[in-house]
Structure 1
């Protein structure tokens, strides 16, 4: 399952000697067929390296000027050619935009395994091994797994599946547990998953930014705070752990934190000529790196939690009202 795993990967160099072995050992492999002299290949190279850190699917490449037989086997006629190859050597061509987020979304949608089947006793050790801060456990009968897979495939989250006579969905989120006893109602299920799919607060970096800005119905809030960060974290943890229904505005946001030396925050602060000692909360609403749109409020001395709540309420009401509910009402289409 691909949802919340953030691991550092590098582009794998494939050759005629390791191609078959490597692709057979992985459920899916993203392969770029290229030629060193190709200008488009050179332009794609840094994006391909970026992609390797954005998906759990192995990202690889093969030089067709050296390994012509492999490239001929997969009917490569131009460069670069991108294919998603499964363990049985079946290849699917990628024909979309040559940008890392677009390729990632396409590959993850095809390669997504909805559930990891496990026993209840194995969850603690397995989730620790995977370094999961937020995940779900679906308890349901074994004979319902295939049907439930269709219902849950729309969600880009990590789901364990435990065979059980009774059906319920349990969220483990930042050390807290939440339960949904009825998974049959689509809107209720979608809202539950959306509310509990991510840690209360994530560290901000380029990899997490790519994930957090793509969450349906959610806007990313960046806490650019130093001395006031503890109060902000307490507010967010308390509201999300204890008052998820009483304070519905938290359904509209996902939170991250970053100091002034964070590269993403530096860009925003420099653009707006903020001084070193100013502390801010940003709502980052970017669809691409070239066009950053956000709302911001400076946090000053006084009741920090009240200032943040006021800002979120006002921004939610004027800019994002109804986005989450609209997404949740959409019927699952069997895809991300």
Structure 2
């Protein structure tokens, strides 16, 4: 069952990438997916960070109240900024969370040009996230 879910996620990620590549004539702001991408594993995160200039990784947990409150904010950020937003469930990706030093959720890590550039812990408002993204755009 877990392998089926992982395969579906890989297919959806590939579809998003193909859809983005076919829109190559549009400006770079439109190249990032308009919805968050769910990541499962270090390889998927590495591929996504390598593909897009700005990636906002939302490390979250389903049981986390502040994470649930942050959900609409990160969806808006995905739709309205040039950052690609990825969601990483820390319960399913404990090694990945440990690799990036996630000790509390929500934790947001902004990758710029393939490298972690900013880290925000706790509930963030939309203006703060936009400001951090624009600082690295």
TM-score of the superposition, structure 1-length normalised?
A: 0.30
2:23 aligns with: none
Residue in structure 1 matched with residue 46 of structure 2 by the alignment = 20
- Report which of the two structures shows the higher radius of gyration computed on alpha carbons: 1
Does residue 67 of the first structure (1) align with residue 93 of the second (2)?
yes
Name 2:119's counterpart in structure 1: 93
Secondary structure of 2:55's aligned partner: strand
Query: Structure 1 residues 69 and 37, CA, compared in 2 at 3 Å: closer, same or farther?
Result: same
**1:82 to 1:69, Cα distance in 2 relative to 1, 3 A:** same
Tell me how large the CA RMSD over aligned residues is: 2.5
Using the TM superposition, give the Cα deviation of residue 95 of structure 1 relative to its aligned residue in structure 2, in angstroms. 5.3
Q: Secondary structure at the match of 1:23?
A: helix
Match of 2:68 in 1: 42
Q: How does 1:84-233 map to 2 (within 5 A)?
A: 84-94=110-120, 98-110=124-136, 112=137
Q: CA deviation at 1:85?
A: 1.4
Decide which of 81, 94, 106 is 1:55's aligned counterpart. 81
Where in structure 2 are there 5+ consecutive unaligned residues? Answer: 1-27
CA–CA distance in structure 2, aligned partners of residues 87 and 14 of structure 1: 18
What corresponds to 1:9 in structure 2?
34
For structure 1, list consecutive stretches of 5 or more residues without a partner in the other structure: 113-336
Give the superposition deviation at 1:82: 0.8
Aligned partner of residue 131 in structure 2, secondary structure: helix
Contact 1:10-1:49 within 8 A present in 2 as well: yes
Which residue in 2 is equivalent to 1:33? Answer: 59
Partner of 2:3: none
Equivalent residues, number: 109
- Offset at residue 97 of structure 1 (A): 6.5
What is the deviation of 1:5?
Answer: 4.7
Q: For the Cα contact (< 8 Å) 2:106–2:122, is it kept in 1? A: no
8 Å CA contact retained: 2:104, 2:121: no
Answer yes or no: is the 8 Å Cα contact 2:70–2:123 preserved in 1. Answer: no
Structure 1, residues 306-334: CA drift from partner, whole Å, max 9, x if none? xxxxxxxxxxxxxxxxxxxxxxxxxxxxx
Tell me the distance in 2 between the aligned counterparts of 1:54 and 1:38: 25
Aligned residue in 1 for 2:107? 81
